[in-house]
Structure 1
Amino acid sequence: MKKKFSLDLWNGSSFIILLTYLIFLVYPVGNVLVQAMITDTGFGFDNFITFFSKSYYSTTLINSFKVSMTATFFSLIIGVVLAYCFAMYQFKGKKTLRILIIIASMSAPFIGAYSWVLLLGRSGVITKFLSNIFGITMPDIYGFTGITLVFTLQLFPLIFLYVNGAFKSIDNSILEAAESMGSTGFNRFFKVILPLLIPTLLAGALLVFMRAFSDFGTPMLIGEGYRTFPVLIYSEFMSEVGGNAAFASALAIIAIIIALSIFLGQRYVANRKSITMSSLHPVAAKPVSGIKKVIVYVINYGIVFLAILPQGYLIYTSFKNTQGMVFQSGYSLDSYREAFDRMGSAIFNTIRIPLMAMVIVIIFAIFISYLVVRKRSAVTSVIDSLSMIPYIVPGTVMGIAFLTSFNTGIGGSGFLAITGTALIMVISMSVRRLPYTIRSSVASLMQIPTSIEEAASSLGSGKVNTFFKITVPMMLSGIIAGAILSWITMLSELSTSILLYNVRTRTMTVAIYTEVIRGNYGIAAALSTILTAFTVISLLIFMKVTKSDDISM
């Protein structure tokens, strides 16, 4: 007998969530695809043919692959080495270093690029010092070298957090058994530890690659002649705002296809290499002495120092007397006064807009995670798949999709005209950052036995009551962990916001970027420091709520 459809809480929430994704994800991306096919004579593949037939365009794609793969390679090396040292050795300051690593990973990459220009640019502090004192000429920080440096120092903490979490799942008896069989040092690392970390490394590498591949601000500030794909998409779209945005849409579709291909490839390899581990005896850090102790301290403190140096220098320069692009002698709070006077609304928006988005993210993440884990069906499987699309689609592409789909101007479709409002900023942040909280909530829910909910039901608790009073509180740690990651990435959001903002909805990242472009370095440094303070405060709140100083993925 066929089961009748009943509109209960779960069917109703499935319908609302699916409808939301159709309107604010499927429709915008589909609209970009349609616009990409528009030509002077109708519909066709002319825009795609133009891209692949001209080396000027295709070279930017190659550039993005080069810089993203190189940054991913170095991030893997640094992140794994650092995580290995933290897991295997005892040394002082480990807690502080871990917090600094997390802080280094949470700021917008383009802020690091701006700081490195101040340090290693042609007129940078370090460049001048080495040239004047030692006669040393530093390599050019601009172009491929600078972009790779910024990405690596910005993104290796993600690998560290992933691998740091994976080491907790490795049973110490495996390492002891390998050691008893004569496998020690590098041999044990490459033959025993590294194979166990491969699934984690693949997940971390995907995240790093996609963050580097989709970043817009860093190559825009420090790339000079080295053009990357997100910069090309942005430039082509902005130049087409007064006319036809079809070519920019074609570039966006190419970016989506590339991102989806890489994501599916990573999924396939990860499933083939998946390993299940249970750690009854976690790896215990051992004390070190002699030359090994010196090496451990130099590696850990040296890497963290380089990672945190850009933010530290920005904080320092924010208190200096500044005239445009020139840092003068003496110190004052003038940059902060100007920042609050001229950018007070941007500071307020940086809290207001992400806060509204966070409410949406948490509510949707709770329901989506429960649906995909406990209420598996064809509809929830579709929702689960749709929820991962923003994870891989570059922010610039999502910005173009929203701008062309919810805009009544030239190049816009006119459907649900919310462009220029705070609502479109809230929705774009919610859609883009929702996957972080969903994944974390799903992982937390999968650790809760269904027997607990069944026991509550047998004691007379209704399904809805059990969900809100028992299941959700037990999921809370995973919800909070994902929410804090979503929140911090919202604070540093630029690539989508730069396309969607107006004077009333400008956020601090947009304001910092525009002030750097205008040469107002003092105000930019002050705003960057305020943004860093917001990030640190968010991190401290997370640690207070979770009663933990250890964040891993």
Structure 2
Amino acid sequence: MNTAKKFNLWMGIALLILCFFIIFVVYPLILILYKSVIDPESSKLTLDYFTKFFARKYYWSTLVNSFYVTICSTIIASVIGLPMAYVLRSVKIPGSKYLNILIVISYLSPPFIGAYAWIQLLGRNGFVTQIINSIFGVKLDGIYGFAGIVLVFALQSFPLIYMYVSGALKNLDNSLNEAAESLGLTAFQRVRQIILPLVMPSLLAGSLLVFMRVFSDFGTPMLIGEGFKTFPVLIYTQFMGEVSTDDHFAASLCVIVIVITLLLFFLQRYIAGHYSYSMTALKPMEAVEAKGSKKIFAYLFVYGVTFLAMLPQLTVIFTSFLEVSGGAVYTGNFSLQNYMNTLFAKDNNSITNTYLFGICAIFIVVFMGIFISYLTVRKRSYVTEVLDTVTMFPYIIPGSVLGISFLYAFNKQPLILSGTALIIIISLAIRRMPYTIRSSTAIITQISPSIEEAAISLGATEFKSFWKVTVPMMLPGVLAGAIMSWITLISELSSSIILYTSKTSTLTVAIYTEVIRSNFGNAAAYSTVLTLTSIISLLIFFKLTHNKDISV
């Protein structure tokens, strides 16, 4: 009888959480699929919306543009991230610990902030553009278009490659490298024939994640794309356009992007599962002192790339203290005007909303993340396997698609949530929950079930053993994942820009709208607040985990 109760208790919790995800993930996505194949007038099945997309070059060319941008950005990010990881692991670089933190910070910052910062530097009236124009007597057209989008995405995405490859190099046994050296292989040959094949699975996995992230981002191409339109921008304009909108056509576009991202996700899982090497670092790679030209090259490369990665953050922090005339023209004087206009403005709740929504979302993330990870590891069943799969959907699905699906699903009875803070909190929570689930699952696999069994043998119930013994032991991993979830959710734009109202605006939405309005001073102040929040959160992460770096 007790066994049945225990089984029913855990099964009941699993079913409740599964129902939550069915309501807020599965149902909205099914509704998108339904809208994409139903004629609103006749209510009959139709593929006209998909035909419309593939029949007109104006539409399908945006998909080609997205693949073009994404492939180029991923290749450049890999070309930068791979040598960065190798050099920082193999060569003693002064301040490498802090360089690593700066690289991670540059990744955690929203891509559209990088786009805005590069407009300040290399836009038509950017600081660097003006200097070049005055010195060489030319008139540069700015960073806009394909080249600018690729630059922003590559510099913003290479840290992900860096973290994946760095994690693989940490587990690499250096005796293989030394054996190759004793056989007469040069340093370049050793890297090409020994190290690169061993880290290739991690490189491919990281590259696919970069591909998915870049492909689904709309903020950067929206800001600096100008005539170069990408697929996410098309989705946004079809759903939120000021001139004309088509919900059913937008739904068909969402279905196309869901199919593409699902294929990419399963490809990433396949590569991770079938092309990974089990490496045990009996003799880990150690950084050595470089000499001569190798030392100069290593220093210039590492410091130069890190500087370029952090340049957007440094730019927005610097410009946030510059006095602005008319919103977009800098007078050259230092002032706190931008902070007075943002932090202390009346009826401005973007900053408080960001922290309030973020804290509420984190509570949901931590609470559910603990139960989901425990259920999928300790209480495996058909239900928990389905739950494990469903919880990954928000990680795969682009934020703009999730936002659109929420408006389709919760803009009418029986559950009206559109325009409320709750819809943004839920979207943030389910979008970023996989980070906490992953870290929680990793730590619970390291906790022996015998500890729980010992507590039960002393008279504790199974649930009490879980709550009093297992959860406290899980907390370090849970909190680490929660902090990473926090950093990413306060930087979320794709879903928030679709779901927000004037009362539920967040920092990312405020930054985006200020840039669109050319209020660059206000945008810089908001961006600085967001950047400092991310830095402080990351430092707390390092303190809690006692890690010097983040590797995947």
Which band: TM-score by shorter chain?
A: over 0.9
Q: Structure 2, unaligned stretches of length 5 or more?
A: none
Of the candidates 367, 386, 398, which is equivalent to residue 402 of structure 2? 398
Of the candidates 47, 50, 55, which is equivalent to residue 48 of structure 1? 50
Q: Which residue of 1 aligns with 2:177?
A: 175
Q: How many angstroms does 1:97 deviate by?
A: 0.8
Q: Which residue of 2 aligns with 1:430?
A: 429
What secondary structure is seen at the aligned counterpart in 1 of 2:324?
A: strand
Q: Structure 2 CA distance, aligned partners of 1:271 and 1:548?
A: 26
Q: Does 1:166 align with 2:165?
A: no
What secondary structure is seen at the aligned counterpart in 2 of 1:327?
A: strand
Q: Does 1:337 align with 2:340?
A: yes
Cα pair 2:238 2:246 within 8 Å, conserved: no
| 1:519-542 CA-partner distances (Å, limit 9, x unpaired) | 111111111111111111111222
Of the candidates 359, 362, 369, which is equivalent to residue 358 of structure 1? 362
What secondary structure is seen at the aligned counterpart in 1 of 2:392?
A: helix
Cα pair 1:405 1:415 within 8 Å, conserved: no
Distance 1:240 1:403, change over 3 A: farther
Distance 1:167 1:470, change over 3 A: farther
| 1:313-340 CA-partner distances (Å, limit 9, x unpaired) | 1111111110211111211101100012
Q: Structure 1, unaligned stretches of length 5 or more?
A: 409-413
Show the 5 A alignment for 1:184-333.
Answer: 184-239=186-241, 244-323=246-325, 324-333=327-336
TM-score scaled by structure 2? 0.95
Amino acid at match of 2:12: G
Amino acid at match of 1:193: I
Distance 1:165 1:460, change over 3 A: farther
| 1:457-499 CA-partner distances (Å, limit 9, x unpaired) | 4454442233223322333332223212211111111110001
CA RMSD in angstroms, aligned pairs only: 1.9
Cα pair 1:407 1:415 within 8 Å, conserved: no
Q: How many angstroms does 1:239 deviate by?
A: 3.4
Q: Which residue of 2 aligns with 1:509?
A: 508
What secondary structure is seen at the aligned counterpart in 2 of 1:549?
A: coil
Q: Does 1:146 align with 2:148?
A: yes
Q: How many angstroms does 1:105 deviate by?
A: 1.0
Q: Structure 2 CA distance, aligned partners of 1:126 and 1:331?
A: 19
Amino acid at match of 1:371: L
Q: How many angstroms does 1:164 deviate by?
A: 1.6
Q: How many angstroms does 1:305 deviate by?
A: 0.4
In the alignment of these two chains, the number of paired residues is 546
Q: Structure 1 CA distance, aligned partners of 2:110 and 2:217?
A: 9
| 1:147-195 CA-partner distances (Å, limit 9, x unpaired) | 1100111111111112222222112222222222333412111221122
Q: Structure 2 CA distance, aligned partners of 1:154 and 1:123?
A: 23
Q: Which residue of 2 aligns with 1:104?
A: 106
Q: Which residue of 1 aligns with 2:132?
A: 130
Q: Structure 1 CA distance, aligned partners of 2:477 and 2:182?
A: 38
Q: Structure 2 CA distance, aligned partners of 1:416 and 1:282?
A: 55
| 1:194-250 CA-partner distances (Å, limit 9, x unpaired) | 222122222211221111011111000000011011110010011399875100001
Q: How many angstroms does 1:104 deviate by?
A: 0.8
Amino acid at match of 1:359: F
Q: Which residue of 2 aligns with 1:417?
A: 416
Q: How many angstroms does 1:278 deviate by?
A: 2.0
What secondary structure is seen at the aligned counterpart in 2 of 1:328?
A: strand
TM-score scaled by structure 1? 0.95
Q: Structure 1 CA distance, aligned partners of 2:540 and 2:530?
A: 15
Farther-moved stretch of structure 1 (469-478 vs 196-205): 469-478
Cα pair 1:343 1:511 within 8 Å, conserved: no
Cα pair 1:101 1:157 within 8 Å, conserved: yes
Q: Which residue of 2 aligns with 1:497?
A: 496
